[in-house]
Amino acid sequence: MKDRVSIDLKDGVADVRLIRADKMNALDPAMFEGIIEAGAKLADMKGLRSVVLSGEGKAFCAGLDMASFAAMNQGDAAVPGSRDLTKRTHGIANRPQQCAWLWRELPVPVIAAVHGVVFGGGFQIALGPDIRYATADTRFSVMEIKWGLVPDLAGTQLMRHLAREDVVRELTYTGRIFNGAEAQQMGFVTRVVDDPRAAAFETAREIASKSPDAVRAAKRLLNAAVATDAASGLMMESVEQQKLIGSPNQLEAIMSNLQKRAANYKD
């Protein structure tokens, strides 16, 4: 993992970076493995309140690298996409899909700070987090069609909750490149900013200052809201709220606000 993804934790905020800058953080087998390993480490990390995901160098992620395309065509078992994709290796996902889906499954909010190019698999990985910040000139593409493929890093499941169906279809069928400003209009980008990492850390620190119990409950509810019926969703709200009311961190939220002081939440 160390030569592809780095993790630094400070004050409850994890700084997760793709660090294959010389290749625009393109996805090779080591990068796939590094992202999945990073996700597993974050899932077990004590004191974690929020995550910022970004890429070093000129780009967030340029998608699958060309060497991996060649290996895929030769049936290299080390390359995601060249083995049995129907095998579920991580719950409902296969191994490549886990690189994007794991951000959805992490119990804390994840903010993607993207820049440069966000193509193909890189675009799908950026869709996994809860929030996305980008520069206006960031370039995005559902690029798989260029190579005679379909988006298969959970992209079809993630895109459909962010943009209109016809927009998702147009981008998937054509692979056209669009910028950050258009991505925001479509719904793929939360906010267009000059410095996505700085904005992401500002939001991450704000989240980290809130009750971790309430934040995690909110993420569980919002994850379920896109895939459940109204009756089940309303019951989930009631169950989560009932667990929060009167809990130590909920009482601390009340007292810190009344006393106009910083809260001291317990993990």
> Per-residue pLDDT for 212 more than 90?
yes
In sequence order, which ranges of 89-129 are alpha helices (DSSP H)?
A: 95-105, 121-127
Q: Give Cα separations from 41 to 7, 12, 16, 36, 132 (angstroms).
A: 9, 14, 11, 9, 22
What percent of the chain has a predicted confidence (pLDDT) above 90? 91
Q: Are the C-beta atoms of residues 5 and 18 closer than 8 Å to each other?
A: yes
Confidence check: pLDDT of 28 > 60:
yes
Residue of 53, 129, 130, 63 lying closest to 96 (CA atoms) = 63
Q: Strands 110-114, 50-55: parallel, antiparallel or unpaired by DSSP?
A: parallel
Task: Report if pTM > 0.85.
Answer: yes
> Of residues 105 and 67, which shows the higher confidence score?
105
Confidence (pLDDT) at 213: 98
Average pLDDT, the chain: 94
Please, are residues 2 and 35 in contact by the beta-carbon 8 Å criterion? no
DSSP tag of 17: E
Q: Is the pLDDT of residue 72 over 80?
A: no
pLDDT of 145: 96
pLDDT at 123 over 90: yes
Name every residue whose Cβ is closer than 8 Å to that of residue 223 and which is 6 or more positions away in sequence.
104
DSSP 8-state assignment for residue 162: T
d(CA 100, CA 80): 13
pLDDT of residue 66: 77
Please report which confidence band the pLDDT of residue 225 belongs to, taking 50, 70 and 90 as the band edges: very high
Strand runs labelled E in the chain: 5-10, 13-18, 50-55, 110-114, 117-119, 131-134, 139-141, 178-179, 191-192
pLDDT value at residue 82: 56
